[in-house]
Amino acid sequence: VSQDALTAMQHGLQSCETCGLLSRPARGDEDGRCPRCDKAVAFRKHQSIQHTWAYLIAAAICYIPANVLPVLTTTTATGTETDTILQGVVLLWSPKGWPLSLIVLVASIIIPSAKILALAYLLITAQRGAVENNEQRVRLYRMIEFIGRWSMVDVFVDTFTAALIQLQPLMSVEPGPGLLFFAAVVVLTMLAVESFDPRLLWDFAGGEQKASSIEVTHA
């Protein structure tokens, strides 16, 4: 085994995604199952780049109607009003209510768009075999993995606003068609993050290992 061989794959070993057991394929290159947890193991997630692109493109397409179509329809005695996500943010903006407005702005507009752009960046650099900024890129991946779920906030806000404000004929709120597309964006980007394999970011990295020992933090 050469000096450059740092990864399990270079040693012909596969690590199980779920239980972490390191094992060697019994039939040469053919993928087998993890003997400990029975999960199919592979060197890298199968078709990771293609699957992630598919989810991401679908999310990007849904992102447009999610922002253009209304997410809430308010009916009062005087008439009907519809709000898109952005109109909702603007409506909430007031000297007292701006923190709320900011929460919705970050969770519903900034996080989904940043997530789509960041994943596209990771996919393109992984496909090109980029060897720079690996640490930053894997950190970016962890950030979008951690933060993505918070986009669901707006779905819950609209759900419970609509469930509660049912005071016909005084005032009633119903979810609009944009909510479906927005929920789809959240789900599709979460699936995209799940199908991306961060190990692909390192496959061209070569032997520029920084430290030789594992860092241990004591309690």
Site for other proteins in 94-133 (CB under 8 A): 97, 100, 103-104, 107
State in angstroms the smallest separation of the CB of 154 from other proteins: 7
At its nearest, how many Å lie between other proteins and the CB of residue 1? 6
CB of 204 to other proteins, least distance (A): 12
CA 64, chain centre distance (Å): 17
Taking CB under 8 A as the criterion, the residue among 110, 129, 135, 204 binding other proteins is: 135
Contacts of 70 (CB under 8 A, 6+ apart): 82, 83, 84, 87, 176, 177, 178
**Residue span binding other proteins (CB under 8 A) among the ranges 23-31, 57-65, 79-87, 111-119:** 23-31
d(CA 189, CA 57) in angstroms, rounded, equals 9
Among 34, 62, 116, 126, binds other proteins (CB under 8 A): 34
Contact criterion met (CB below 8 Å) for 70 and 83 = yes
Contact call for residue 46 and other proteins (CB under 8 A) = no
- Residue 141 lies near other proteins (rule: CB under 8 A): yes
Closest CA to 83 of 173, 199, 196: 173
Q: Which is nearer to other proteins, 128 or 168 (CB)?
A: 168
Closest CA to 119 of 33, 196, 213, 21: 196
Residue list 159-218, contact with other proteins (CB under 8 A)? 159-167, 170-171, 174-175, 179-180, 183-184, 187, 190, 194, 198-199, 201-203, 205, 209-218
**Residue (8 or 58) nearer to other proteins, CB:** 8
Distance, C-alpha 35 to centroid of its chain = 30
Q: 93-110 as b/e, with b when 16 or more CB fall inside 10 Å?
A: eeeeeeeebebbbbbbbe
**Does 93 contact other proteins by CB under 8 A?**
no
39 binds other proteins (CB under 8 A): yes
77 part of the interface to other proteins, by CB under 8 A? no
Would you call 54 helix, strand, or coil by DSSP?
A: helix
